[in-house]
């Protein structure tokens, strides 16, 4: 059992790397301890987006009367919803398994432990172990949800994000610990389905890692929806009361108690690279527990590589997949195989959606640019109005000296799709003038990108701008 490449983990980083290595003619094996497709396909990106879609559909049905469409009060069959979601997951994971098989990649079920720079022991669920030998070992073991003191996951009273994707029934009240993207995505699913949610966030704003205007705008939308949000707050613990759970939260120098039926704890994820033998063979980690890698995703130990969540921020599936392609090319000896993207888009499937790529104005200024911003509201978009989603805006950040697009930040309808145009513009070094001069089909949502680019030069047509320069 000797291979050119042995990939540890069959998530979006690992399986992509394995397939690309096989396409280069290398003999490849992949070890997966839980499920092909990893967290993303099974209990992350895909199933959460399925539930988000269901929640938005449920909400749209209830709002249909605004368009003159009269329908009976919608009812939710939770069992059917979960079954539909699992059907989508099944199709995608079986598709990935089929691709691995078609590329003649050997897949081993079990837990991997690195014994040396070229040896890995795989222990199956039945306890039997086998040793695999490979010229190259690619570590793509992902990340796991963080548990906080007093809120150990039990799947009943305290849910992880995984538990929230397979409810047995719909809770009436939910307290969400963590106002980041996972907490708000899942919290808003349940809000749209009829659950009363409350958000507790330790930082001074929701979505603390996002561009500040996007964070502020989401805070306003949450208030508009009637969702209580407690900032600068710390959840201390809970106890079972006569009417559900009683959660103690430190807010503004005092302890408040909130009642709920379930707690959803989503305070982030931690990399999973430690504890599988890498330390023993000398692989270096950074202070936050990520495996240290070079631009080609090599570790300091020859023949051992790392990609995906375990190899550094941002912990995003599309970043991991791209790293997988880079590592495969480097292993195969292809020239120019380095991870050097001009930008990595971030998307959040809240309601409304959020998308961001490149620099904020503050970040651009700190890097020595002279940022100029242009903004266009979806309230002035005929397409957004026609689909009854007028909230939000598109903002383009460009350099005043060169007009080069530095960043694009959006909140509103379908912005998770619109951000691809912005990422391409930054990757190609396009200017705001290039975006403005590109004819966009009418009536469509992407017109907002064109108008925001025009707004950089104070020349937007469909909103009035008082000249600033």
What secondary structure does DSSP assign to 265-294, as a single string? Answer: E---EEE--TTSSTTTTT--B-TTSPBP--
Q: How far apart are CA 408 and CA 421, in angstroms?
A: 10
Q: What is the pLDDT of residue 466?
A: 80
Q: 389 Cβ partners below 8 Å, 6+ apart?
A: 352, 378, 412, 413
Q: Which of 52, 345, 21, 35 is nearest to 192 (CA)?
A: 52
Q: Which of 236, 229, 175 is nearest to 206 (CA)?
A: 229
Helix (H) or strand (E) run with residue 174 in it: strand 173-177
Q: Which of 5, 37, 19, 25 is nearest to 120 (CA)?
A: 5
Q: Is the dihedral of CA 16, 19, 22, 27 positive or negative?
A: positive
Q: Is the pLDDT reported for residue 401 higher than 90?
A: yes
SS3 content of the chain, % helix, strand, coil (to 5): 35, 25, 40
Provide the pLDDT confidence category of residue 161 given band limits of 50, 70 and 90. very high
Instruction: Count other C-beta atoms under 10 Å from residue 368's C-beta.
Output: 7
For residues 417-432, average pLDDT: 98
In the chain, what percentage of residues exceed pLDDT 70?
Answer: 100
pLDDT tens column, 132-150: 999 999 999 999 999 999 9
Q: 80 Cβ partners below 8 Å, 6+ apart?
A: none
Provide the pLDDT confidence category of residue 280 given band limits of 50, 70 and 90. very high
Q: What is the pLDDT of residue 467?
A: 75
Provide the pLDDT confidence category of residue 408 given band limits of 50, 70 and 90. very high
Q: Which of 391, 448, 381, 386 is nearest to 421 (CA)?
A: 448
Provide the pLDDT confidence category of residue 248 given band limits of 50, 70 and 90. very high
Q: What is the pLDDT of residue 156?
A: 95
For residues 438-459, average pLDDT: 97
Buried/exposed code over 301-311 (b: 16+ C-beta within 10 A; e: otherwise) = bebbbbbbbbb
Helix (H) or strand (E) run with residue 407 in it: strand 405-412
Q: What is the pLDDT of residue 469?
A: 60
From its phi and psi, is residue 207 left (phi > 0), alpha (psi between -120 and 50) or beta? left
Q: What is the pLDDT of residue 327?
A: 98
Helices 447-456/415-427 angle, 10° precision: 50
For residues 15-27, average pLDDT: 98
pTM: 0.94
From its phi and psi, is residue 275 left (phi > 0), alpha (psi between -120 and 50) or beta? left
Catalytic residues: 442
What secondary structure does DSSP assign to 36-87, as a single string? Answer: TTHHHHHHSHHHHHHHHHHHHHHHHHHHGGGGT---PPP---HHHHHHHHHH
pLDDT averaged over every residue in the chain:
96
For residues 379-385, average pLDDT: 97
For residues 274-300, average pLDDT: 97
Q: How far apart are CA 469 and CA 466, in angstroms?
A: 9
Q: 197 Cβ partners below 8 Å, 6+ apart?
A: 173, 174, 175, 176, 187, 188, 190, 191, 227
- Residues facing residue 231 across a β-bridge: 201
Could you tell me the domains of the chain? Answer: 2-145+270-331 (3.50.50.60), 158-267 (3.50.50.60), 346-456 (3.30.390.30)
Q: How far apart are CA 43 and CA 46, in angstroms?
A: 7
Q: Which of 318, 442, 449 is nearest to 386 (CA)?
A: 442
- Do the bridges between strand 196-201 and strand 229-231 make them parallel or antiparallel, or are there none, so unpaired? parallel
- Residues facing residue 64 across a β-bridge: none
Q: How far apart are CA 255 and CA 215, in angstroms?
A: 26
Q: How far apart are CA 128 and CA 248, in angstroms?
A: 46
Q: What is the pLDDT of residue 1?
A: 78
Q: How far apart are CA 458 and CA 443, in angstroms?
A: 22
For residues 168-178, average pLDDT: 97
Q: What is the pLDDT of residue 440?
A: 98
Q: Is the pLDDT reported for residue 468 higher than 80?
A: no
SS3 assignment, position 321 = helix
SS3 assignment, position 9 = coil
CB-neighbour burial class of residue 152 (10 A; exposed 0-12, middle 13-18, buried 19+):
exposed
**Which tokens sit at 323?**
């790293």
What secondary structure does DSSP assign to 324-386, as a single string? Answer: HHHHHHHHTT-TT-----S---EEE--SSEEEEEE--HHHHHHTT--EEEEEEEGGG-HHHHH
SS3 assignment, position 192 = helix
pLDDT tens column, 326-355: 999 999 999 999 999 999 999 999 999 999
Q: Which of 18, 21, 24, 52 is nearest to 38 (CA)?
A: 18
**Which tokens sit at 469?**
């320069």
How far lies 337's CA from each of 217, 302, 323, 414, in Å? 39, 16, 10, 33
Q: What is the pLDDT of residue 465?
A: 84
């Amino acid at each position: 059992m000797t291979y050119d490449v042995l990939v540890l983990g069959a998530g979006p980083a690992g399986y992509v790397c394995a397939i690309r290595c096989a396409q280069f003619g290398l003999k490849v094996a992949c070890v997966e301890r839980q499920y092909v497709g990893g967290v993303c396909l099974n209990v992350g990106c895909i199933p959460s987006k399925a539930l988000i879609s269901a929640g938005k559909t449920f909400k749209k049905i209830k709002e249909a009367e605004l368009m003159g469409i009269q329908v009976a009060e919608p009812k939710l069959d939770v069992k059917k919803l979960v079954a539909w979601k699992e059907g989508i997951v099944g199709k995608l994971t079986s598709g990935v398994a089929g691709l691995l098989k078609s590329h003649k990649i050997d897949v081993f079920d079990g837990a991997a432990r690195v014994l040396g720079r070229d040896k890995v022991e795989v222990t199956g669920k039945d306890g039997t172990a086998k040793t695999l030998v490979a010229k190259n070992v690619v570590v793509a073991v992902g990340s796991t949800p963080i548990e906080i003191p007093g809120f150990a996951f039990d799947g009943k009273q305290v849910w992880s994000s995984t538990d929230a994707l397979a409810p047995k029934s719909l809770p009436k009240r939910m307290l969400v610990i963590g106002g980041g993207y996972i907490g708000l995505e899942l919290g808003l699913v349940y809000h749209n389905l009829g659950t009363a949610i409350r958000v507790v966030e330790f930082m001074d704003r929701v979505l603390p890692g996002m561009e500040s205007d996007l964070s502020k705008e989401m805070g306003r939308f949450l208030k508009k929806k009637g969702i209580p949000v407690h900032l600068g707050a710390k959840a201390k613990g809970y106890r079972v009361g006569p009417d559900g759970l009683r959660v103690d939260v430190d807010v503004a120098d005092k302890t408040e108690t909130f009642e709920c039926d379930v707690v959803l704890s989503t305070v982030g994820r931690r990399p999973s690279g430690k504890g599988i033998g890498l330390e023993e063979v000398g692989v270096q980690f950074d202070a936050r527990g990520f495996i240290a890698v070079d631009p080609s995703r090599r570790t300091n130990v020859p023949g051992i590589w790392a990609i995906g969540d375990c190899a550094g921020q941002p912990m995003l599936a599309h970043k991991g997949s791209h790293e997988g392609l880079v590592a495969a090319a480097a292993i195969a000896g292809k020239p120019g195989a380095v991870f050097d993207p001009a930008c990595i888009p971030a998307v959040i499937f809240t309601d409304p959606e959020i998308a961001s790529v490149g620099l904020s104005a503050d970040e651009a200024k700190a890097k020595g640019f002279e940022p100029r911003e242009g903004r266009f509201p979806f309230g002035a978009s005929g397409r957004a109005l026609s689909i009854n989603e007028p909230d939000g805006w598109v903002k383009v950040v460009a350099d005043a000296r060169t007009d080069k697009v530095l960043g694009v930040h959006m909140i509103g309808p379908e912005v998770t799709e619109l951000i691809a145009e912005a990422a391409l513009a930054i990757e190609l070094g396009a200017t705001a003038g290039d975006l403005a001069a590109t004819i966009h089909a009418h009536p469509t949502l992407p017109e907002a990108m064109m108008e925001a680019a025009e707004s950089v030069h104070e020349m937007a047509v469909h909103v009035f701008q008082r000249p600033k320069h």
